Amino acid sequence: MLDQLQRLPADPILGLAAMARADTRAAKVDLTVGIYMDETGVCPVFDAVREAQAMLATDEITKAYLPPAGVDAFNSGMQKLLLGAEHPALLGARVSSVQAPGGCGALRIGAEIIHAATPGATVWVSDPTWPVHLPLLGSVGLQFSNYRYYDPATHGVNFQGMVEDLKSAGAGDVVLLHGCCHNPCGADLSLAQWAVVADMAEAQGFLPFIDIAYQGLGDGLDEDAAGLRLLAERLPELIVAASCSKNMGLYRERTGAAMFVCRDQENAEALVSQALVAARRIYSMPPAHGALIAGKILSDSKLDRTWRVELMEMCARINGLRSDLRTKLEAASGRDFAFIEKEKGMFSFLGLSAEQASRLREDYAVYMLDSSRINVAGVNAGNIDYLAESVAAVL
């Protein structure tokens, strides 16, 4: 039976990253996978995470399953982190959440909830979006439509096009929104634009589904969640998929949360029951380690302060890299790269063609996607000059 199955192509991002790892050239620059790297090219462990792990190792007395919804301190901590402790939706008991295996697991739980409510519902996704959104949501049976988002000519949000396209989204439809630090383009909505989306959702009845995987890596924890908080205050319902991979460095621990903002407490409790049934048939019980760490950090005032300082430093470094990269590219090429400094988070489209990106790989050992999307956090003082000179050489 199994011998009839054929080899499938590698994931385009992970496959390219594997090519980069196999490249032995000394000048290699890998800007493919979206993982934060420090100046030494290492994905670091937060000091707050090390301290929380040490506490857990001392205190842990069992390896029994977690409750099906996950770690209580993690769920309550994530709700406050995403919405703010005094948000009206929290004070009104309209919010519930379950722990999930990473942001991907949270997205899948959200998709299961949508399909249970409206089988085959249409999800509107930005053009472009994170490629894994489509298989994660589509494999449940949801359908897709695109809305315009990124304008390559301006390197910014095509908000007029986005609004025009979303005028066709109505009751029973879902609009998938990146909460901050858009992946892959780094171009984010302003708070005024979030307000327009809220107006449209109120008038047209579509359900926002917010994927927020980079909170704290754009302008700050509160600033990056401002759009989400606005929608949660104004709308009767929305779904949120959140991840601790980036802002706590818990990549391999797969730590995420699916959060539901509902009309009232009764509906919020109903959504949790639906989520737990969906989780039971997908992965049964949630993983413990990452959520215990995150829950410990979010519930311990000292650890929380330590983590917030570390995250602010990481955010400042990314924004500093954007400024430095802009300066280096403009000096090397004589072209305008101001857009890099205006974007948020870890990603940017450099505006190169697929042929130019291929030339960078083949001739200069500089690895980026064919779309010219780069992970800005893969840049450091040791490779930025070579990167700028290499890009200038293929322009």
Contact 106, 100 (CB under 8 A): yes
Q: How far apart are CA 156 and CA 147, in angstroms?
A: 15
Q: Quick one: which H or E segment has residue 354?
A: helix 354-364
Catalytic residue among 124, 130, 194, 307: 130
Report the distance separating Cα 316 and Cα 314, nearest Å.
5
Pick from 85, 129, 115, 317: nearest CA to 216: 317
Angle between the 384-394 and 354-364 helix axes, to the nearest 10 degrees? 130
Structure tokens at 155: 């390197």
Backbone angles phi, psi at 107, to 5 degrees: -60, -40
The whole-angstrom separation of Cα 135 and Cα 122 is 14
Whether 373 and 183 have beta carbons less than 8 Å apart is answered as no
Structure tokens at 163: 């609004």
Catalytic residue among 173, 188, 194, 246: 246
Alpha-carbon dihedral angle through residues 336, 338, 343, 345, given to the nearest 10 degrees: 90
211 is catalytic: yes
Long-range contacts of 356-362 (CB under 8 A, 24+ apart): 356/394, 356/395, 359/394, 360/390, 360/391, 360/394, 361/19
Q: Catalytic annotation on 307?
A: no
CB atoms within 10 A of CB 221: 19
How many helices (H) and strands (E) are present in the chain, helices listed first? 16, 13
Q: Is position 246 annotated as part of the catalytic site?
A: yes
DSSP 227-240: HHHHHHHHSS-EEE
Upper half-sphere CA count for residue 330 (Cβ side, 13 Å): 12
Catalytically annotated residue among 165, 211, 224, 324: 211
**Rounded Cα distance, 350 and 363, in Å:** 18
And the tokens for 239?
Answer: 């779904």
Q: Contact, 232 vs 202, CB < 8 A?
A: no
**So which residues are the catalytic ones?**
130, 211, 246
